[in-house]
Structure 1
Amino acid sequence: MVRPITTEVQNSIKLLLIEGHSYSAIQKMYPNVGLSTLSRYKRKFLGDPTSPKGEGFKARRKVKTNFVNTTNKRKRFPWAKKYQHYAVDDWRKWGFFDKTKINMWGSDEKSYYWTDGATELLPHQIESHVQEDGGSVLFLGLITAKEPGYGSTITEGDVNAGVYIDILPTSLLDTLEYCGLDRKSFRFQQDNATPHTSVPTKQWFQRQGFPLKLILDWPSQSPDLNPIEHVWNQQKRRLNAYPARATTIAELEDRIHQEWYKFTKEDCLKYIDSMPNRIKAVIRSKDGPIRY
């Protein structure tokens, strides 16, 4: 008797298919799921990839890039030129900090399907959601050339200057001490979100002896330059691969921390060492968004 595939596993496979994982990669996670089943799920969840008019066109997801306004575009290019001669070893002296939102019920991304205008929704045209996505957690973390830093979670509200200053002693100072990094030679990178550039935050960095001019030297609207974005992507894939969704915020927090501390020095270096190529890509694009 063939054992039925649980709804949780189906949902996990669905997310993997939407993200573009190959059948072989999915089968490594779910070895009992056959190719015919994966093919059927792809048609069921994503629809027929051929054009509805049968003209040989294929459906492809658009390449997502961050929006960069004209003012910030003009800042990206000179910033990239300034660091174009940095070698990998130079970038390994940096630590990259950011936050990400992790939902109880998967990502905020929209899914698309082909339609011929029929009013009745078919199974592959719908995606179930719980109200307000069942809750979410904000996770803040830092990657260094040594290993990931201490992570922090926020389950209520957002990050303001006060919250950010409360987080920094753990996420930054404790990480430097644990990893044996010298704050005089360590370059802490943050984006220019308002809590990061507020007067109280600037005063905190100055009291701790960090060069404020360097900390604020980062082009706005540039998550594509921050290698930690790839770590977020990997972390969410791991969380989505759980056979069952977390049923409470506390359980989700626990999973987030478990997966975060599984990242290794090699994982961090893989993304930090991509910085020279990111810089080259910005210069080639004449300050526009890049494929990272």
Structure 2
Amino acid sequence: MGRGKSLTDFEKGQIKGYIESGLKHNEIAKKIGRSQNVVSNFLRNEADYGKKMIGGKKYATTASERRLILRTASNSHLSASKIRDECGVNASLATVKRVIRSAKHLKRLKIKKKPPLNDARKEARLRFARDHMTWNKEWKAVVFSDEKKFNLDGPDGYNYYFHDMRKEECFLSRHHSCTGGVMVWGAISFYGTCELQFVSSKMNANVYKTVLQKAFPQFSEIFGPIQWTYQQDNAPIHTARVTKQWIKDQNVNLLEWPPYSPDINIIENIWGLLSRRVYEGGRQFQDSATLVEAIKKAWATISLSEIEKYYDSLSNRMFGIIKNRGGHTKY
């Protein structure tokens, strides 16, 4: 649709007169037979109304600044506001968003929580489920463990990111950089929890072994003479030779865990409970020390009945894997 006819000097005079008499923009538009937009545009900038813009498109950023914004946004979890701060450009937030939207190779996507499963991974999950589908009381002797990241400004990770379609998609991970938060190691048993340990995101196998050295006596005390089993995922520090050998030396069974299977690790559900309590009411934290105290306080509220509920769900999780032929379950 083309532009409408500009206001005449007479119409401009009418508008000024009506506005002085207290009429609203829509009322003036009806009286002079023009659209409300035309009236509002004139009143918004009387001095420049009707002047033609000379020259081509003007940018609030330079070409190099736009390239920097797009490089920073590529597969980034940062918000547009933080991208602007990271780039140090003197431009409005709307301009930065416009630059990102104009890039054909960038698309705003929600991070997928479930990792991809190829045929080999599905087969490993299916084999594990079949081997453990008859377990019932046996699960009560298993200790489930994991690490989790807690951010200062809210629950783990950003829900959305700027996906660069020239790169692989991102999946939600708890094992990423610990900037602006803390990394926590925790474990649960059917009979209770152990003390949380706050660790570095760059933890290696030897440091992980010291974590276990502090935690295992707590579970040995809980189980007494009962033989118990330790569960961990397949992170490199968990599968390292030094880690496995140390666990074996403690006369503790190690549960061989299928790859890419957070949906059957029930401590994931406990992390969910913990996060909701830590960040209840949209709470955010100014420093790590305050966040740590909040996590410890919330961890102490995890009840045995809550833990037992998830242990009771393990049989159904095994059957869920079998039903989905190794695929993801609803958990």
Considering the TM-score relative to the shorter chain, is it more than 0.5?
yes
Judged with a 3 Å threshold, the aligned counterparts in structure 2 of structure 1 residues 239 and 268 are, in CA distance, closer, same or farther, namely same
Q: Which amino acid aligns with 2:195?
A: Y
Judged with a 3 Å threshold, the aligned counterparts in structure 2 of structure 1 residues 63 and 133 are, in CA distance, closer, same or farther, namely closer
- 1:201 maps to which residue? 243
Shift of 1:64: 4.3
- 2:291 maps to which residue? 252
Q: Which amino acid aligns with 1:75?
A: A
1:71 aligns with 2:132: no
Structure 1 contact 103–137 (Cα < 8 Å) conserved = yes
Secondary structure of the 1:98 match is strand
- 1:219 maps to which residue? 258
- 1:136 maps to which residue? 181
Counterpart pick for 1:175 among 213, 219, 224: 219
Judged with a 3 Å threshold, the aligned counterparts in structure 2 of structure 1 residues 176 and 291 are, in CA distance, closer, same or farther, namely same
Judged with a 3 Å threshold, the aligned counterparts in structure 2 of structure 1 residues 70 and 245 are, in CA distance, closer, same or farther, namely same
Shift of 1:216: 4.7
1:101 aligns with 2:143: no
Structure 1 contact 224–290 (Cα < 8 Å) conserved = yes
Percent of matched pairs sharing the same residue: 29
Equivalent-residue separation in structure 2 for 1:159 and 1:259 (angstroms): 24
Shift of 1:291: 1.0
Q: Which amino acid aligns with 1:106?
A: G
Larger-Rg structure? 2
- Give the number of aligned pairs: 206
Equivalent-residue separation in structure 1 for 2:143 and 2:257 (angstroms): 13
- 1:86 maps to which residue? 135
- 2:252 maps to which residue? 210
Shift of 1:245: 2.0
Deviation by residue 1:109-129 (Cα, 9 ceiling, x = unmatched)? 3259xxxxxxxxxxxxxxxxx
Deviation by residue 1:180-223 (Cα, 9 ceiling, x = unmatched)? x1375211111121111111112211221123xxx151101101
Shift of 1:173: 2.2
Deviation by residue 1:248-277 (Cα, 9 ceiling, x = unmatched)? 111111111111121111111011111001
Structure 2 contact 144–265 (Cα < 8 Å) conserved = yes
Judged with a 3 Å threshold, the aligned counterparts in structure 2 of structure 1 residues 69 and 172 are, in CA distance, closer, same or farther, namely farther
Q: Which amino acid aligns with 1:194?
A: P
Equivalent-residue separation in structure 2 for 1:200 and 1:243 (angstroms): 41
Aligned positions of 1:27-46 closer than 5 A: none
- 2:209 maps to which residue? 165
Secondary structure of the 2:143 match is strand
Equivalent-residue separation in structure 2 for 1:183 and 1:192 (angstroms): 28
Instruction: Give the number of the structure with larger relative contact order, counting CA–CA contacts within 8 Å between residues 6 or more apart.
Output: 1
Structure 1 contact 91–272 (Cα < 8 Å) conserved = yes
Shift of 1:160: 1.5
Aligned-residue Cα RMSD (Å) equals 2.3
Judged with a 3 Å threshold, the aligned counterparts in structure 2 of structure 1 residues 277 and 198 are, in CA distance, closer, same or farther, namely same
Counterpart pick for 2:194 among 149, 153, 157: 149
Shift of 1:62: 9.7
Unaligned runs of 5+ in 1: 1-60, 113-131
Secondary structure of the 2:147 match is strand
